[in-house]
Structure 1
Amino acid sequence: MSEPISESEPSEPIKVDIWSDIACPWCYIGKRKFEGGVSAFGEDPDSPQVIVEYHSFELSPDTPVDFDGSEIDFLAGHKGMQKEQVVHMLDRVTGIARATGLNYDFDILQHTNTVKAHQLLHYAKAKGLQLETVERLMRAYFTEGRHVGRIEDLADLAAELGLDRDDVVRSLTDDEFLGEVRADQALAREYGVNGVPFFVIDGTYGVSGAQESGAFVQVLQRVQAERSAAEESIA
């Protein structure tokens, strides 16, 4: 469902701000469904109608970098659920992910704190590679069993995308972009965001959760129609 957040002036292209966490399984699923919606909306790679920026949200900021246990152990302790319930829940999520083309492997997943990963996303944004980095970190975490909480591991993943490994280590060690992470989190609180993924489309409409692709198409079309109507009223 979509709900007005604030008014925005017509502009091109349509800006979509996405709050998510690397360690959120629904965020990766929502990413795929959103991408499907953008494709169905008629996105032209040579003349983009939609631009995307990711923002930081930590689901479990108190998680240690090196969590001692499995994803089942973490969720059982964090949510107070029986392990059998957790296994059933993860099986369900895995099936939903598979339907979007994602092969989650919770058996090899290394649960961790994601604040450094969020800092890397801001570093990558400054280098023009944020979208590629979001995809790489989520794939590494959910399908490859890679560690995305330690500086050295994050630097390895960043280097795969062509980023300067040594400079990434420097930036993460110095908490160069920690202020930007906290600013994202503060803005999320202002919007009343208490779960992710959360999409703010054109600064006007909020879409909460991993909605089906059609829901994103509808909101993008609504923004497009409102812009057209505004232009006609001015003409």
Structure 2
Amino acid sequence: MTETRPPLRIDIISDVMCPWCIIGYSQLAQALADSGTAHDIHWHPFELNPDMPPEGQNIREHVAEKYGSTPEQSAKSRDQMTALGAELGFEFRYGDDMRMHNTFDAHQLLHWANETGRMHDLKQALFTAHFTNGRNLSDTAVLADIAAEIGLDRAEALAVLEDQRFANDVRTEEKFWVSQGIQGVPAVVFNQRHLVTGAQGVDNYTQILKQLAEMPV
């Protein structure tokens, strides 16, 4: 008798300000589709810049300040990410006036969306809103608009952000993942046991899925 394998649980710790998070997810999604792997994805919050002020910061200034990158290095990295995104069907539109934003409210909205099973859809919409359309994800009205655009209730989304009802939940979850040793994103945990960090590429993810499929249930 063949033993039925349950869907692969995939926990993804990420921030919607992180370009490698959407690249890594897109690579993983392609590997999952190509291999026909049954799976169940759970997104979790991580803030790359928890102290980012509401007005945000110009991306070029931010990268130079945080990572010490020269303008040439920064431009080369953006070109690389844009090319990788295009191969995976995701459009990066970097511009000189693009800004990094505080994402604590975005994570609260994602937490709320999870209550109706729409977290994954909202996560993708937020990635697109930031990297493709350059929208301000620290603006509560913009966040509520994005929620409405995927069919969620705009007034309720705005209320969630105004009263900060999920602030403690998000902080608690963020602290949990940091306590588990997560210091950067993307971080992917398979079946709550196997941690993979960074954007691994379609081929590597395919190999990882193959190895997981060969493990005892």
Does TM, scored on the shorter chain, surpass 0.5? yes
Whole-angstrom CA distance in 1 between matches of 2:5 and 2:137: 36
CA shift digits 1:52-88 (9 cap, x unpaired): 0100011111111212x53112211222333233222
CA shift digits 1:11-56 (9 cap, x unpaired): 722110000000000001011001011112214xxxxx20001000
Whole-angstrom CA distance in 2 between matches of 1:176 and 1:216: 36
Match of 1:39 in 2: 33
1:209 equivalenced with 2:203 (yes/no): no
1:94 equivalenced with 2:79 (yes/no): no
Whole-angstrom CA distance in 2 between matches of 1:35 and 1:166: 32
Alignment of 1:13-162 (within 5 A): 13-43=7-37, 49-67=38-56, 69-107=57-95, 109-162=98-151
The 8 Å contact of residues 198 and 206 in structure 1, kept in 2 or not, is answered as yes
Whole-angstrom CA distance in 2 between matches of 1:198 and 1:75: 21
Identity %: 32
Whole-angstrom CA distance in 2 between matches of 1:226 and 1:79: 39
Q: Secondary structure at the match of 1:90?
A: helix
Aligned length: 213
CA shift digits 1:104-163 (9 cap, x unpaired): 112153321011111111111111101100100001100111111111110000001111
Q: Secondary structure at the match of 1:60?
A: coil
Task: Give the aligned residue type for 2:92.
Answer: Y
Match of 1:171 in 2: 160
2:187 corresponds, among 198, 203, 207, to 198
Q: Secondary structure at the match of 1:19?
A: strand
Where structure 1 has 5 or more consecutive residues not aligned to the other structure, the ranges are 1-9, 44-48, 229-235
When the two structures are superposed, what TM-score results if normalisation uses the length of structure 1?
0.84
2:209 corresponds, among 200, 217, 220, to 220
The 3 A distance-change label for structure 1 pair 214 and 82 is closer
Where structure 2 has 5 or more consecutive residues not aligned to the other structure, the ranges are none
The 8 Å contact of residues 19 and 197 in structure 1, kept in 2 or not, is answered as yes
Greater Cα offset, 150-159 or 82-91 = 82-91
Deviating 4+ runs (over 6 angstroms): none
1:12 equivalenced with 2:1 (yes/no): no
When the two structures are superposed, what TM-score results if normalisation uses the length of structure 2?
0.91
Whole-angstrom CA distance in 1 between matches of 2:20 and 2:196: 14
Whole-angstrom CA distance in 1 between matches of 2:215 and 2:76: 43
Whole-angstrom CA distance in 1 between matches of 2:196 and 2:15: 16
Task: Give the aligned residue type for 1:41.
Answer: S
